[in-house]
A and B are shown apart, each in its own frame.
Chain A
Amino acid sequence: MNRIYIVPVVLKASNRGIGPGAGQPSRSAAYISDLTYKYGALDYGSEDVMLVLVRDISTADHDTLAARSDVIAIPEDLDANMTSGQVNGAKNFYDTLNIPGGWINTNRTVRQVVKITGGMFQFNQRWSGISNGTSPFKVGLDLSTVYSTMSDLNKGRIQVVFDSLNIDISSLTGSSTLGEALREFGIQMASRPLYLGGIEI
């Protein structure tokens, strides 16, 4: 079975680094990278968490992985609506990882939650790509930081992230928070294809 997880990033010994990264470990999916499954990973930019699809994972390995307190196993039926228990579990988990979770409710399907989450992760990826590997949370922002209070540099980064991926920023105002920007970005990105592990979600 193919299963999706949110897992921590772990540093694994690697010979893949080059130039200034020579000899440095590879950022990899915790626990999963110790196994032999093919997987695809979408990290939360330079934050140490990844959305991962694992191909053909055994039930035993899935059960072990899902039981870990720092892993969230996405329900297998992507087209089912989220249950109230899953909503609460996801919100609590997201809160610990600087991922907005207030938009998750029982009217959303699991697939919508995965795709919006993947969209928010892409916000942080592009932020990292335009800012030498930083993330909003490494430059002093948090999910409740209001746009109008941000530095011009960080306001500009948000604008570039939205514009460079052709995401409409017009619904955000000066009183919008970083969390609201992430959510809006994720919701719009969810209308586009999301590939993980060779599979379109």
Chain B
Amino acid sequence: MALPHTDTFDSGDGTNLETHNADYNVFFGSMEINDNSAMGNAGSGSACLESGDTYANNQYAQAIVDYSGTNDLGILISRFTTSFNGYGYGSEGTGGATTSERYDAGVPTTIIADATDWADTDDVRIEANGTTIEIFLNSSSDGSTTDATFSSGDPGMLFGDDDQGMAFDSINFGNLPFPVSQSNAPRAWGHYHRTLA
């Protein structure tokens, strides 16, 4: 498939994510589609990568949030691997914690704390661009930090449990243009900035 990888999850309720599209590698737990949104379906959490495409090291993961009002956990991931290494941007919605984490074998390190809580229909995005990790909420930057730990991986999704209160209504995964100039920076899916690394 050509990038960007986009998906509006138009399959019947209860469809496993891999059945919906075999490009998804659900390597921990399980995920399913309900109400045309992707969500977790495993009590101990779930994780998937989009493995049907080859991603550059400078990449993004973006989604429209489907939030039902209960404090369940959804995380967009970027530059992530099946060894549970990579970067995430996650929220439990209103009143829950919203952070960006680096994962080392699944163990989190908070690299951006107290980000803005996600709400239903929010447009959320994480970019791994050189050594800059930046998160965006509705096309505005909500924080950035420098981290050189990991250089490669794929975008994907994590869910904290099977309560399904935080889901993704649609996703858009792709590569960041490099180098970026003001004239070629896409606007519709958020902002970019340039980091040499």
Q: A residues within 8 Å of B by Cβ?
A: 9, 12, 14-22, 24, 26-29, 32-33, 36-43, 45-46, 118, 122-123, 125-126, 128-129, 132-133, 164-166, 192-198
Contacts and interface: CB of A to CB of B under 8 A. Distances in A.
Contacts of A166: 197
B141 interface: yes
Contacts of A17: 106-108
B151 interface: yes
Contact of A24 (B45, B47, B106, B150): B106
B114 interface: yes
B60 interface: no
A196 B145 contact: yes
Contacts of A16: 73, 75, 88, 90, 99, 101, 108, 110, 160
A28 B108 CA distance: 9
Interface in B158-175: 158, 160
Interface of B: 28, 44-45, 47, 73, 75, 84-85, 88, 90, 92, 99, 101, 103-115, 131-132, 134, 141-151, 158, 160, 195-197
Contacts of A32: 113
Given A165-B197, A196-B145, A19 B84 contact: yes
Nearest to B27: A19
